[in-house]
Amino acid sequence: MNTHILTHPNVAAILGALVADAASLGLHWLYDPARIAEIETNADIVFRHPDPADYAGTSGFFAHGSKLAGESSGYGEACLLMLKHMAKHGKFTRAAYQLEFRTHYGPGGEYTGYIDSPTRQTVRVLLPLDTENFPEISGADDDQMLALATIPVLVATHEDSHAVLMKRVEEVVRITNHNDIAVSAACCAATALQSLLEGKSMAQALTNAIAVSGDILKSSLMAALATDKLDSVSAASHFGSACHVTEGLPIVFHIAKHAPDYTTAIKANIRAGGDSCGRAIILGALVAAHHAKQQNMASSIPLSWIARYRKLAAVAEACERI
Protein backbone atom coordinates (compact mmCIF):
# COMPACT_ATOMS: atom_id res chain seq x y z
CA MET A 1 0.00 0.00 0.00
CA ASN A 2 1.66 3.25 -1.09
CA THR A 3 2.19 6.15 1.29
CA HIS A 4 -0.45 8.38 -0.31
CA ILE A 5 -3.12 5.73 0.08
CA LEU A 6 -2.08 4.88 3.64
CA THR A 7 -2.33 8.47 4.89
CA HIS A 8 -5.68 9.24 3.25
CA PRO A 9 -8.19 9.69 6.09
CA ASN A 10 -10.87 7.61 4.35
CA VAL A 11 -8.47 4.71 3.92
CA ALA A 12 -7.29 5.19 7.49
CA ALA A 13 -10.87 4.70 8.68
CA ILE A 14 -11.17 1.40 6.84
CA LEU A 15 -7.73 0.14 7.81
CA GLY A 16 -8.22 1.30 11.39
CA ALA A 17 -11.39 -0.79 11.63
CA LEU A 18 -9.89 -3.96 10.16
CA VAL A 19 -6.61 -3.84 12.07
CA ALA A 20 -8.45 -3.19 15.35
CA ASP A 21 -10.70 -6.19 14.77
CA ALA A 22 -7.74 -8.47 14.04
CA ALA A 23 -5.79 -7.10 17.00
CA SER A 24 -8.70 -7.93 19.32
CA LEU A 25 -9.41 -11.45 18.08
CA GLY A 26 -7.26 -13.38 20.59
CA LEU A 27 -9.29 -12.31 23.62
CA HIS A 28 -12.64 -11.74 21.93
CA TRP A 29 -15.62 -12.68 24.10
CA LEU A 30 -13.56 -13.11 27.25
CA TYR A 31 -15.85 -11.43 29.77
CA ASP A 32 -13.39 -11.23 32.64
CA PRO A 33 -11.32 -7.99 32.75
CA ALA A 34 -9.36 -9.38 35.70
CA ARG A 35 -8.24 -12.38 33.64
CA ILE A 36 -7.31 -10.07 30.76
CA ALA A 37 -5.26 -7.93 33.16
CA GLU A 38 -3.54 -11.07 34.43
CA ILE A 39 -2.67 -12.11 30.87
CA GLU A 40 -1.31 -8.64 30.15
CA THR A 41 1.20 -8.84 33.00
CA ASN A 42 3.12 -11.46 31.01
CA ALA A 43 2.18 -10.93 27.37
CA ASP A 44 0.82 -8.46 24.86
CA ILE A 45 -2.96 -8.50 24.56
CA VAL A 46 -3.01 -7.40 20.90
CA PHE A 47 -2.68 -9.97 18.12
CA ARG A 48 -2.73 -12.75 20.69
CA HIS A 49 -3.17 -16.24 19.28
CA PRO A 50 -6.57 -17.59 20.38
CA ASP A 51 -5.94 -19.97 23.27
CA PRO A 52 -8.67 -21.90 25.13
CA ALA A 53 -6.54 -21.78 28.29
CA ASP A 54 -7.19 -18.03 28.51
CA TYR A 55 -10.91 -18.77 28.90
CA ALA A 56 -10.67 -21.72 31.29
CA GLY A 57 -12.48 -21.32 34.61
CA THR A 58 -13.91 -17.89 33.89
CA SER A 59 -16.70 -16.11 32.04
CA GLY A 60 -16.21 -16.23 28.33
CA PHE A 61 -16.96 -17.88 25.01
CA PHE A 62 -14.02 -19.33 23.09
CA ALA A 63 -15.15 -18.94 19.48
CA HIS A 64 -11.99 -18.65 17.41
CA GLY A 65 -10.09 -21.89 17.92
CA SER A 66 -9.70 -22.35 14.16
CA LYS A 67 -8.10 -18.94 13.64
CA LEU A 68 -4.57 -17.57 13.81
CA ALA A 69 -3.33 -14.29 15.24
CA GLY A 70 -3.89 -11.52 12.71
CA GLU A 71 -7.03 -13.02 11.19
CA SER A 72 -10.43 -11.32 11.25
CA SER A 73 -13.53 -12.09 13.24
CA GLY A 74 -16.85 -12.42 11.44
CA TYR A 75 -17.26 -8.65 11.89
CA GLY A 76 -13.98 -7.92 10.17
CA GLU A 77 -14.92 -10.26 7.35
CA ALA A 78 -18.17 -8.33 6.83
CA CYS A 79 -16.27 -5.05 6.70
CA LEU A 80 -13.80 -6.43 4.15
CA LEU A 81 -16.61 -8.00 2.13
CA MET A 82 -18.27 -4.59 1.76
CA LEU A 83 -14.93 -3.05 0.77
CA LYS A 84 -14.45 -5.65 -1.97
CA HIS A 85 -18.04 -5.10 -3.10
CA MET A 86 -17.50 -1.36 -3.50
CA ALA A 87 -14.21 -1.92 -5.33
CA LYS A 88 -15.86 -4.37 -7.73
CA HIS A 89 -19.09 -2.50 -8.47
CA GLY A 90 -18.14 1.14 -7.86
CA LYS A 91 -21.34 1.61 -5.86
CA PHE A 92 -23.56 -0.34 -3.51
CA THR A 93 -25.81 -2.81 -5.32
CA ARG A 94 -28.11 -4.57 -2.89
CA ALA A 95 -28.83 -7.87 -4.62
CA ALA A 96 -25.22 -8.30 -5.67
CA TYR A 97 -24.07 -7.66 -2.12
CA GLN A 98 -26.60 -10.13 -0.71
CA LEU A 99 -25.35 -12.75 -3.17
CA GLU A 100 -21.75 -12.07 -2.14
CA PHE A 101 -22.74 -12.24 1.53
CA ARG A 102 -24.51 -15.58 1.03
CA THR A 103 -21.61 -16.97 -0.97
CA HIS A 104 -19.00 -15.83 1.55
CA TYR A 105 -20.71 -17.00 4.74
CA GLY A 106 -22.85 -19.82 3.38
CA PRO A 107 -22.07 -23.52 2.90
CA GLY A 108 -18.84 -23.97 0.96
CA GLY A 109 -18.02 -20.28 1.23
CA GLU A 110 -14.62 -18.72 1.78
CA TYR A 111 -15.30 -17.85 5.42
CA THR A 112 -14.57 -20.46 8.06
CA GLY A 113 -15.17 -19.86 11.74
CA TYR A 114 -17.87 -18.71 14.10
CA ILE A 115 -20.71 -16.59 12.75
CA ASP A 116 -23.16 -14.69 14.92
CA SER A 117 -26.93 -15.01 14.95
CA PRO A 118 -27.73 -12.18 12.48
CA THR A 119 -25.26 -13.59 9.94
CA ARG A 120 -26.59 -17.10 10.36
CA GLN A 121 -30.23 -16.06 10.00
CA THR A 122 -29.50 -13.85 6.99
CA VAL A 123 -27.82 -16.74 5.20
CA ARG A 124 -30.82 -18.95 5.99
CA VAL A 125 -33.18 -16.41 4.41
CA LEU A 126 -31.09 -15.94 1.28
CA LEU A 127 -29.93 -19.52 0.75
CA PRO A 128 -33.02 -20.97 -1.00
CA LEU A 129 -33.73 -17.87 -3.14
CA ASP A 130 -32.73 -16.82 -6.63
CA THR A 131 -30.98 -13.44 -6.83
CA GLU A 132 -33.97 -11.74 -8.45
CA ASN A 133 -36.12 -12.83 -5.50
CA PHE A 134 -33.87 -11.49 -2.74
CA PRO A 135 -36.00 -9.31 -0.42
CA GLU A 136 -34.89 -5.77 0.42
CA ILE A 137 -34.95 -6.80 4.08
CA SER A 138 -33.31 -10.15 4.78
CA GLY A 139 -32.02 -9.60 8.31
CA ALA A 140 -32.93 -10.85 11.74
CA ASP A 141 -34.73 -8.79 14.38
CA ASP A 142 -31.46 -8.45 16.25
CA ASP A 143 -29.50 -5.48 17.62
CA GLN A 144 -26.07 -7.11 17.78
CA MET A 145 -22.87 -5.35 16.72
CA LEU A 146 -22.81 -6.79 13.20
CA ALA A 147 -25.00 -3.79 12.39
CA LEU A 148 -21.92 -1.55 12.65
CA ALA A 149 -19.46 -3.74 10.74
CA THR A 150 -19.86 -2.14 7.31
CA ILE A 151 -20.09 1.47 8.52
CA PRO A 152 -16.40 2.39 7.95
CA VAL A 153 -16.60 1.39 4.29
CA LEU A 154 -20.03 2.94 3.68
CA VAL A 155 -18.90 6.29 5.09
CA ALA A 156 -15.41 6.27 3.57
CA THR A 157 -16.76 5.61 0.07
CA HIS A 158 -19.79 7.92 0.32
CA GLU A 159 -19.82 11.05 -1.85
CA ASP A 160 -23.34 12.38 -1.35
CA SER A 161 -25.27 14.19 1.38
CA HIS A 162 -25.70 13.10 4.97
CA ALA A 163 -29.38 12.36 4.33
CA VAL A 164 -28.47 10.02 1.47
CA LEU A 165 -25.86 8.34 3.67
CA MET A 166 -28.47 7.69 6.36
CA LYS A 167 -30.75 6.01 3.82
CA ARG A 168 -27.90 3.86 2.55
CA VAL A 169 -26.87 2.87 6.08
CA GLU A 170 -30.42 1.76 6.91
CA GLU A 171 -30.66 -0.20 3.65
CA VAL A 172 -27.45 -2.07 4.38
CA VAL A 173 -28.13 -2.68 8.07
CA ARG A 174 -31.55 -4.19 7.42
CA ILE A 175 -29.94 -6.78 5.15
CA THR A 176 -28.57 -8.43 8.31
CA ASN A 177 -30.19 -6.61 11.26
CA HIS A 178 -33.86 -5.77 10.72
CA ASN A 179 -34.07 -3.90 13.99
CA ASP A 180 -34.75 -0.21 14.67
CA ILE A 181 -32.20 0.07 17.49
CA ALA A 182 -29.52 -1.46 15.28
CA VAL A 183 -30.35 1.03 12.53
CA SER A 184 -30.21 3.96 14.96
CA ALA A 185 -26.84 2.85 16.28
CA ALA A 186 -25.46 2.46 12.78
CA CYS A 187 -26.71 5.90 11.73
CA CYS A 188 -25.15 7.34 14.88
CA ALA A 189 -21.79 5.69 14.21
CA ALA A 190 -21.87 6.74 10.57
CA THR A 191 -22.63 10.35 11.52
CA ALA A 192 -19.70 10.44 13.94
CA LEU A 193 -17.29 9.05 11.35
CA GLN A 194 -18.53 11.34 8.61
CA SER A 195 -18.08 14.34 10.92
CA LEU A 196 -14.48 13.33 11.63
CA LEU A 197 -13.75 12.96 7.92
CA GLU A 198 -15.15 16.46 7.44
CA GLY A 199 -12.55 17.75 9.90
CA LYS A 200 -14.57 18.06 13.08
CA SER A 201 -12.97 17.38 16.47
CA MET A 202 -13.63 14.07 18.17
CA ALA A 203 -15.77 15.74 20.84
CA GLN A 204 -17.86 17.58 18.26
CA ALA A 205 -18.25 14.52 16.05
CA LEU A 206 -19.48 12.34 18.91
CA THR A 207 -21.84 15.07 20.13
CA ASN A 208 -23.23 15.56 16.63
CA ALA A 209 -23.89 11.85 16.33
CA ILE A 210 -26.08 11.69 19.44
CA ALA A 211 -28.72 13.70 17.56
CA VAL A 212 -29.46 10.71 15.31
CA SER A 213 -29.00 7.98 17.94
CA GLY A 214 -32.66 7.55 18.86
CA ASP A 215 -34.34 7.71 22.25
CA ILE A 216 -33.07 4.36 23.54
CA LEU A 217 -29.39 5.04 22.92
CA LYS A 218 -29.30 8.78 23.61
CA SER A 219 -29.08 8.76 27.40
CA SER A 220 -26.33 6.11 27.57
CA LEU A 221 -24.25 7.86 24.91
CA MET A 222 -24.58 11.15 26.77
CA ALA A 223 -23.49 9.39 29.96
CA ALA A 224 -20.49 7.94 28.13
CA LEU A 225 -19.40 11.40 26.98
CA ALA A 226 -19.90 12.80 30.49
CA THR A 227 -17.10 10.65 31.91
CA ASP A 228 -13.97 12.59 32.85
CA LYS A 229 -11.19 10.03 32.28
CA LEU A 230 -10.45 6.86 30.35
CA ASP A 231 -11.55 3.78 32.28
CA SER A 232 -12.85 1.21 29.83
CA VAL A 233 -13.26 -1.51 32.45
CA SER A 234 -15.55 0.69 34.53
CA ALA A 235 -17.42 1.74 31.40
CA ALA A 236 -17.99 -1.90 30.48
CA SER A 237 -19.17 -2.67 33.99
CA HIS A 238 -21.64 0.21 33.77
CA PHE A 239 -22.95 -0.18 30.21
CA GLY A 240 -22.38 -3.91 29.70
CA SER A 241 -19.90 -5.60 27.38
CA ALA A 242 -22.07 -8.03 25.43
CA CYS A 243 -22.87 -7.99 21.70
CA HIS A 244 -25.79 -5.54 21.72
CA VAL A 245 -25.30 -2.05 20.27
CA THR A 246 -26.90 -0.60 23.39
CA GLU A 247 -23.90 -1.90 25.34
CA GLY A 248 -21.12 -1.66 22.76
CA LEU A 249 -21.63 1.82 21.32
CA PRO A 250 -21.45 3.71 24.67
CA ILE A 251 -18.11 2.01 25.39
CA VAL A 252 -16.89 3.05 21.94
CA PHE A 253 -17.89 6.65 22.62
CA HIS A 254 -16.21 6.60 26.04
CA ILE A 255 -12.91 5.30 24.67
CA ALA A 256 -12.96 7.46 21.54
CA LYS A 257 -13.47 10.59 23.63
CA HIS A 258 -10.55 9.96 25.98
CA ALA A 259 -7.93 7.86 24.17
CA PRO A 260 -5.00 10.01 22.98
CA ASP A 261 -4.03 7.64 20.17
CA TYR A 262 -4.99 4.51 18.29
CA THR A 263 -2.87 2.08 20.32
CA THR A 264 -4.31 3.29 23.61
CA ALA A 265 -7.86 3.07 22.26
CA ILE A 266 -7.61 -0.48 20.96
CA LYS A 267 -5.87 -1.83 24.06
CA ALA A 268 -8.44 -0.12 26.29
CA ASN A 269 -11.18 -1.77 24.29
CA ILE A 270 -9.63 -5.22 24.69
CA ARG A 271 -9.20 -4.67 28.43
CA ALA A 272 -12.94 -3.99 28.73
CA GLY A 273 -13.63 -7.58 27.71
CA GLY A 274 -16.70 -9.04 26.08
CA ASP A 275 -17.46 -8.26 22.46
CA SER A 276 -14.22 -6.43 21.83
CA CYS A 277 -14.13 -7.24 18.11
CA GLY A 278 -17.66 -5.92 17.62
CA ARG A 279 -16.67 -2.60 19.21
CA ALA A 280 -13.24 -2.54 17.53
CA ILE A 281 -14.64 -2.02 14.03
CA ILE A 282 -16.18 1.38 14.66
CA LEU A 283 -13.74 2.42 17.40
CA GLY A 284 -10.74 1.72 15.18
CA ALA A 285 -12.33 3.64 12.32
CA LEU A 286 -13.13 6.68 14.46
CA VAL A 287 -9.73 7.01 16.11
CA ALA A 288 -7.71 6.25 12.96
CA ALA A 289 -9.71 8.69 10.84
CA HIS A 290 -9.43 11.40 13.49
CA HIS A 291 -5.64 11.22 13.66
CA ALA A 292 -5.24 10.96 9.90
CA LYS A 293 -7.45 14.01 9.35
CA GLN A 294 -6.12 16.16 12.18
CA GLN A 295 -2.42 15.28 12.00
CA ASN A 296 -1.96 14.16 8.38
CA MET A 297 -0.41 10.93 9.52
CA ALA A 298 -1.05 7.26 8.95
CA SER A 299 -3.86 7.30 11.49
CA SER A 300 -1.43 6.46 14.33
CA ILE A 301 -1.87 2.75 13.57
CA PRO A 302 1.48 1.12 14.37
CA LEU A 303 3.14 -0.20 11.23
CA SER A 304 3.91 -3.42 13.09
CA TRP A 305 0.17 -3.88 13.67
CA ILE A 306 -0.65 -3.21 10.02
CA ALA A 307 1.95 -5.78 8.98
CA ARG A 308 0.38 -8.42 11.24
CA TYR A 309 -3.07 -8.05 9.69
CA ARG A 310 -3.28 -11.07 7.39
CA LYS A 311 -5.50 -9.57 4.69
CA LEU A 312 -3.63 -6.33 4.13
CA ALA A 313 -2.97 -7.11 0.47
CA ALA A 314 -6.70 -7.47 -0.23
CA VAL A 315 -7.41 -4.16 1.51
CA ALA A 316 -4.66 -2.39 -0.42
CA GLU A 317 -5.93 -3.69 -3.76
CA ALA A 318 -9.53 -2.71 -3.02
CA CYS A 319 -8.64 0.77 -1.75
CA GLU A 320 -6.46 1.50 -4.76
CA ARG A 321 -9.26 0.40 -7.11
CA ILE A 322 -11.73 2.66 -5.33
User: If 0-12 CB within 10 Å is exposed, 13-18 middle and 19+ buried, where does residue 179 land?
Assistant: buried
Secondary structure class of 241 (helix, strand, coil): coil
DSSP secondary structure string, 23-41? Answer: HHGGGTTB--HHHHHHHHT
Q: Is the dihedral of CA 109, 110, 113, 117 positive or negative?
A: negative
- Neighbouring residues of 199: CB distance < 8 A, sequence distance ≥ 6: 293, 294
| Residue 30 bridge partners (DSSP) | 60, 274
Query: DSSP letters of 127-174?
Result: TTS-GGG--S---BS--BGGGGTTHHHHHHT--S-HHHHHHHHHHHHH
CB 305 within 8 A of CB 19: yes
Question: CB–CB of 72/22 below 8 Å?
Answer: yes
State phi, psi for 30 to the nearest 5 degrees. Answer: -95, 110
Angle CA(119)–CA(285)–CA(10) in degrees, nearest 5?
110
Length of the chain: 322
261 is in an annotated binding site: no
SS (H, E, C) 63-129: CCCCCCCCCCCHHHHHHHHHHHHHHHHCCCCHHHHHHHHHHHHCCCCCCCCCCCHHHHHHHHHHCCC
Please enumerate, by residue number, every residue annotated as part of a binding site for Mg(2+): 275
Please enumerate, by residue number, every residue annotated as part of a binding site: 275
